[in-house]
């Protein structure tokens, strides 16, 4: 009999895909089999199967992601039934599923007294629950997860083996009789009720989640927030919040798109406009608050009892990665908390919450982590035969990337690699991804900076294993990451990249960071750049904004203003160091220009308490200004290859002295910078040298800067009578969290060429 062999590729294992196919086949009267194998899901179907491929796409389970369906005819003896067959083969050619927030069915069960999982903190099914954070090794079977110690009871086993049940082969399936347990320390017979009571009384709790511990407090209690900041020695960095959608709507007005993002199975932290009715200490001087919905049954049950929002910030010592083990939590978090809400399901790998926002130009990912990883990205046209490649990213916001079989796997946010435990987590991630995806690279890609730990690690691996090593310039990698995410073809032609960030080593030995590059995946040229200024004190310039203001004001011929602004600083010594070139590398960094303007406006001039504080505060101010003020931008001269901000300082100073608000000044600066770079990039398109513009680099985490840059690109292009395609990040971070993707694409392109 004639039939169909249907190959389904993508995120199709561990998401209920086989029972979905089984039920569909029974409805259609199709016989045959469905199974998992290293390439995804394989279906052999006999009978009325012509509509099956289309139905697979239109009715697929909620957590599945189908990249491709291949259909070939087969002949043979038709079976009498349709069965779910045993998995075949070994290896990891298909995806592992990210963790997913509690689905509506499981949520209904934990709230229904007639259900056996009523009030159970670990209910899950094939549509939700832990995946990547409990996975020790492939294949994704219970024995290979941290659920292995929990033997299923008869009831759970019956669900697990019934293809008609939504818990069929749900590896973390459990119930109160056989699964993980939750408790509180100090001990109490009603742990969740006790936790809620303690939170009500202003105490701080450590709560074990999916990818690690959170430090939690009542978000309505200013005293609790102050206590948490004091204990954690975190004076200003914003705290994330958790609440039900009804709660969030009491304190924010999310748009439909923001609600959809909050309710995504990834359950990221979403930045929402701050309506100002919660204590300002949650996010000092910021215009947004980071909200997430409860994403585990434990979170839902706790919020039911609390009936209000929680501060939920990463449970870690400053600079270290998130704590994941119970004993580790007792050892490290005891000085911060009054009690621990714990459970006995181990966490296989630490993963922070993802952070995202909705901008006028679509979604923006600031931190790619829980719920998004290890989801993969398709490679652009032309990369079909790309060699297996591993790229190791940068020093800050570390993340690595693997390329295999036309897909890129961009790993989860790890953090700053100077921290010893983060470095250990990076090395574990390298082993994890290599093992989990059966990855055997031919090429290793690293940042051009030889002193980055990730670069040294990649170079050592390449030498030890005899692999080809590719050193990739930092900003070229940013450009390629944006192009790749937007599926710009390998032969698509050159693009003008506006790359604005903090620091990246240029091939000339200076520190780049405010660039217009003209390039593609295989090469680039530096077409224009921000006029360099000295980074007085080297790395200290990124921490103390006054140093950048001093350098820029002296450069603009306004040393008297610097003297007046910073009379208590060692200006003479700093100027001498700059004059003699002592630990004062030249830099075109746009990030440091933001710091300079912030310092002149009195925004944390002495020291930033967290990375990006000055720029984030400057953006928050600018967002409060009347939008029409963007038309009164300062003069940032863009002639030839040099973009020089020197002329903007005198009118900025005059505005301050004439009582113009800091909000308006901040907007005028943002507009000036965006316009200068937009004009330089559009010029390359007008000359026929570039076919599109790409926006990347950490400064484009600013929704305002992104919006203004797009505005000025459109305005300049319109004045010239041309149309300019614009690419920006929507699925990967514009910051260094996306750097490894660009490195991998460049390295692969060099070998394809």
User: Is residue 619 reached through a cis peptide bond, with omega within 30 degrees of 0 on the bond before it?
Assistant: no
Residue 298 lies in a domain: yes
Indicate the angle between helix axes 297-306 and 191-200, nearest 10 degrees: 50
Which domain CATH number covers 276? 3.90.870.30
Residue 481 lies in a domain: yes
H or E segment to which residue 667 belongs: helix 662-686
Closest CA to 296 of 81, 468, 124: 124
Which domain CATH number covers 520? 3.30.420.40
Q: Which two structure tokens, joined as six digits, stand for 470?
A: 């590719």
The reply to whether 405 belongs to the active site is no
pLDDT class for 340, splitting at 50, 70, 90?
A: very high
558 and 695 inside one domain: yes
DSSP 700: G
Closest CA to 172 of 345, 403, 406: 345
Task: Determine which of 86-90, 366-370, 506-510, 656-660 has the lowest per-residue pLDDT on average.
Answer: 86-90
- Proportion of the chain in helix, strand, coil states, percent, rounded to 5: 35, 20, 40
539 and 473 inside one domain: no
Residue 532 lies in a domain: yes
Catalytic-labelled residue, pool 18, 220, 367, 372:
18
Predicted local confidence at residue 95, as pLDDT = 64
Catalytic-labelled residue, pool 36, 326, 486, 548:
36
Q: 245-258 in b/e burial notation, b at 16+ Cβ within 10 A?
A: eebbeebbebeeeb
C-alpha distances (whole Å) from 571 to each of 398, 543, 551, 557 are 34, 16, 10, 15
Closest CA to 285 of 700, 616, 608, 598: 616
527 and 471 inside one domain: no
716 and 579 inside one domain: yes
326 and 470 inside one domain: no
DSSP 317: S
Distance CA 647, CA 670 (A): 15
pLDDT tens for each residue of 210-246: 999 999 999 999 999 999 999 999 999 999 999 999 9
Sheet holding 443-447, edge to edge: 377-378, 407-410, 401-404, 389-391, 443-447, 468-472
The range of the structural domain enclosing residue 313 comes to: 182-343
Closest CA to 623 of 311, 287, 337: 287
- Domain total for the chain? 4
What is the percent of the chain with per-residue pLDDT over 90, rounded to a whole number?
91
477 and 511 inside one domain: no
Distance CA 85, CA 28 (A): 19
pLDDT(643) > 70? yes
DSSP 134: G
547 and 628 inside one domain: yes
Q: Which two structure tokens, joined as six digits, stand for 552?
A: 């820029």
pLDDT class for 530, splitting at 50, 70, 90?
A: very high
Distance of CA 160 to the CA centre of its chain: 33
Closest CA to 297 of 158, 61, 105, 16: 105
Residue whose pair of structure tokens reads 């009491």 in the numeric block: 250
Predicted local confidence at residue 250, as pLDDT = 95
Say if CB 733 and CB 485 are below 8 A apart: no
User: What is the phi/psi pair of residue 716, to 5°?
Assistant: -65, -45
Q: For 174-198, what is the mean pLDDT? A: 97
pLDDT tens for each residue of 256-269: 999 999 999 999 99
User: What is the phi/psi pair of residue 425, to 5°?
Assistant: -65, -35
> Which of 294, 326, 343 is the C-terminal boundary of a domain?
343
Predicted local confidence at residue 39, as pLDDT = 85
Residue 90 lies in a domain: no
Distance CA 624, CA 223 (A): 28
270 and 318 inside one domain: yes
214 and 273 inside one domain: yes
Say if CB 287 and CB 620 are below 8 A apart: yes
Distance CA 278, CA 489 (A): 47
> Which of 299, 323, 343 is the C-terminal boundary of a domain?
343
The reply to whether 57 belongs to the active site is no
Task: Determine which of 283-292, 311-320, 575-584 has the lowest per-residue pLDDT on average.
Answer: 311-320
The CA R_g of the chain, rounded to the nearest whole Å, is 27
pLDDT class for 614, splitting at 50, 70, 90?
A: very high
Residue 153 lies in a domain: no
648 and 698 inside one domain: yes
Residue 128 lies in a domain: no
Residues ≥6 apart with Cβ < 8 Å to 29: 47, 48
Which domain CATH number covers 61? 3.30.70.100
Closest CA to 714 of 682, 691, 690, 668: 682
> Nearest-5° angle of CA 138, CA 436, CA 83?
35
pLDDT class for 96, splitting at 50, 70, 90?
A: confident
380 and 260 inside one domain: no
> Which of 53, 84, 115 is the C-terminal boundary of a domain?
84
pLDDT tens for each residue of 534-592: 999 999 999 999 999 999 999 999 999 999 999 999 999 999 999 999 999 999 999 99
Mean pLDDT of the chain: 95
Sign of CA dihedral 290, 503, 480, 696: positive
Q: Which two structure tokens, joined as six digits, stand for 238?
A: 């914003």
Residue 163 lies in a domain: no
pLDDT tens for each residue of 442-459: 999 999 999 999 999 999
pLDDT tens for each residue of 664-720: 999 999 999 999 999 999 999 999 999 999 999 999 999 999 999 999 999 999 999
H helix count then E strand count, the chain = 22, 30
Q: Which two structure tokens, joined as six digits, stand for 123?
A: 């209910």
Residue 324 lies in a domain: yes
199 and 309 inside one domain: yes
What is the percent of the chain with per-residue pLDDT over 70, rounded to a whole number?
99
pLDDT class for 30, splitting at 50, 70, 90?
A: very high
Indicate the angle between helix axes 545-555 and 590-600, nearest 10 degrees: 90
pLDDT class for 91, splitting at 50, 70, 90?
A: low
User: Is residue 186 reached through a cis peptide bond, with omega within 30 degrees of 0 on the bond before it?
Assistant: yes
Which burial class, exposed, middle or buried, applies to 189 when counting CB atoms under 10 A from its CB (0-12, 13-18, 19+)? exposed
Q: 729-750 in b/e burial notation, b at 16+ Cβ within 10 A?
A: bebbbbbbbbbbbbbbbbbbbb
Distance of CA 176 to the CA centre of its chain: 34
Distance CA 499, CA 493 (A): 18
pTM metric for this prediction = 0.95
Q: For 343-367, what is the mean pLDDT? A: 97
What DSSP assignment string belongs to 436-469? HTT---SEEEEES-TTSHHHHHHHHHHHHHT-EE
Which domain CATH number covers 421? 3.30.420.360
Residues ≥6 apart with Cβ < 8 Å to 426: 398, 400, 414, 417, 453, 454, 457
Distance of CA 598 to the CA centre of its chain: 26
Predicted local confidence at residue 92, as pLDDT = 57
């Amino acid at each position: 009999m004639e039939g169909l062999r249907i190959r389904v590729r993508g995120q199709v294992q561990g998401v209920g895909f086989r029972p979905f196919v089984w039920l569909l086949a029974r409805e259609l009267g199709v016989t045959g089999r469905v199974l998992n194998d290293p390439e995804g899901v394989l279906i052999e179907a006999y009978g009325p199967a012509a509509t099956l491929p289309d139905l697979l796409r239109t009715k697929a389970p909620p957590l599945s992601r189908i990249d491709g369906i291949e259909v070939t005819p087969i002949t043979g003896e038709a079976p009498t039934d349709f069965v779910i067959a045993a998995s075949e083969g070994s290896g990891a050619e298909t995806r592992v599923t990210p963790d997913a927030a509690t689905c509506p069915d499981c949520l209904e069960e934990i709230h229904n007294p007639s259900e056996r999982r009523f009030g159970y903190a670990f209910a899950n099914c094939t549509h939700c629950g832990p995946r990547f954070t409990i996975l020790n090794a492939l294949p994704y079977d219970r024995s290979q997860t941290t659920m292995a110690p929990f033997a299923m009871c008869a009831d759970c086993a019956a669900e697990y083996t019934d293809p008609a049940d939504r818990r069929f082969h749900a590896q973390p399936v459990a119930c109160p009789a056989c699964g993980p347990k939750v408790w509180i320390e100090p001990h109490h017979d009603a742990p969740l009720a006790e936790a809620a009571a303690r939170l009500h009384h202003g105490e701080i709790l450590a709560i074990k989640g999916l990818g690690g511990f959170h430090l939690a407090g009542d978000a309505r209690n200013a005293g609790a927030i102050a206590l948490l900041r004091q204990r954690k020695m975190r004076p200003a960095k914003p705290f994330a919040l958790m609440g039900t959608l009804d709660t969030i709507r009491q304190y924010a007005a999310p748009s439909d798109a923001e609600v959809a993002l909050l309710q995504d199975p990834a359950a990221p932290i979403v930045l929402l406009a701050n309506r100002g009715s919660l204590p300002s200490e949650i996010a000092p001087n910021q215009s947004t608050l980071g909200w997430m919905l409860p994403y585990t049954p434990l979170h839902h049950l706790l919020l039911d009892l609390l009936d209000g929002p929680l501060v939920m910030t990463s449970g870690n010592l400053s600079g270290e990665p998130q704590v994941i083990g119970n004993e580790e939590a007792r050892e490290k978090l005891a000085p911060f908390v009054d009690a621990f809400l714990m459970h006995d399901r181990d966490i296989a790998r630490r993963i922070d919450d993802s952070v995202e926002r909705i901008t006028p130009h679509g979604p923006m990912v600031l931190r790619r982590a829980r719920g998004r990883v290890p989801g993969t990205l398709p490679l652009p046209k032309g990369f079909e035969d790309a060699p297996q490649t591993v790229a190791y990213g940068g020093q800050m916001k570390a993340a690595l990337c693997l390329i295999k079989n036309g897909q890129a796997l961009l790993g989860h946010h790890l953090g700053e690699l100077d921290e010893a435990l983060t470095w250990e987590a990076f090395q574990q991630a390298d082993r994890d991804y290599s093992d989990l995806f059966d990855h055997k690279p031919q090429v290793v890609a690293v940042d051009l900076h030889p002193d980055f730990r990730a670069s040294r690690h990649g170079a050592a691996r390449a030498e030890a294993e005899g692999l080809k090593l590719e050193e990739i310039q930092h900003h070229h990698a940013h450009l390629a990451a944006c192009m790749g995410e937007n599926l710009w073809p390998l032969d698509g032609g050159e693009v003008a990249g506006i790359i604005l960030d903090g620091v990246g080593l240029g091939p000339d030995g200076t520190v780049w960071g405010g660039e217009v590059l003209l390039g593609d995946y295989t090469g680039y040229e530096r077409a224009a750049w921000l006029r360099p200024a000295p980074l007085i004190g080297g790395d200290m310039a990124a921490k103390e904004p006054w140093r950048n203001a001093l350098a820029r004001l002296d450069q603009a011929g306004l040393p008297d203003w610097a003297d007046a602004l910073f009379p208590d600083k060692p200006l003479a010594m700093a100027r001498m160091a700059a004059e003699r070139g002592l630990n004062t590398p030249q830099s075109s960094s746009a990030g440091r220009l933001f710091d300079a303007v912030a310092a002149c406006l009195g925004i944390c001039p002495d020291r930033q308490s967290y990375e990006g504080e000055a720029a984030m505060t400057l953006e928050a101010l600018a967002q409060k200004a009347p939008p029409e003020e963007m038309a009164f931008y300062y003069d940032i001269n863009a002639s030839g290859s040099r973009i020089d901000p020197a002329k903007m300082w005198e009118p900025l100073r005059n505005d301050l002295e004439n009582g113009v608000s800091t909000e308006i000044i901040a907007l005028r600066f943002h507009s000036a910078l965006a316009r200068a770079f937009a004009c330089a990039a559009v010029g390359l398109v007008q000359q026929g040298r570039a076919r599109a513009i790409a926006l990347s680099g950490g400064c484009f985490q600013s929704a305002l800067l992104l919006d203004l840059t797009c505005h000025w690109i459109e305005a300049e292009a319109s004045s010239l009578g041309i149309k300019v395609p614009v690419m920006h990040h929507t699925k990967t971070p514009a910051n260094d969290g996306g750097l490894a993707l660009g490195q991998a694409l460049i390295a692969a392109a060099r070998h394809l060429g």
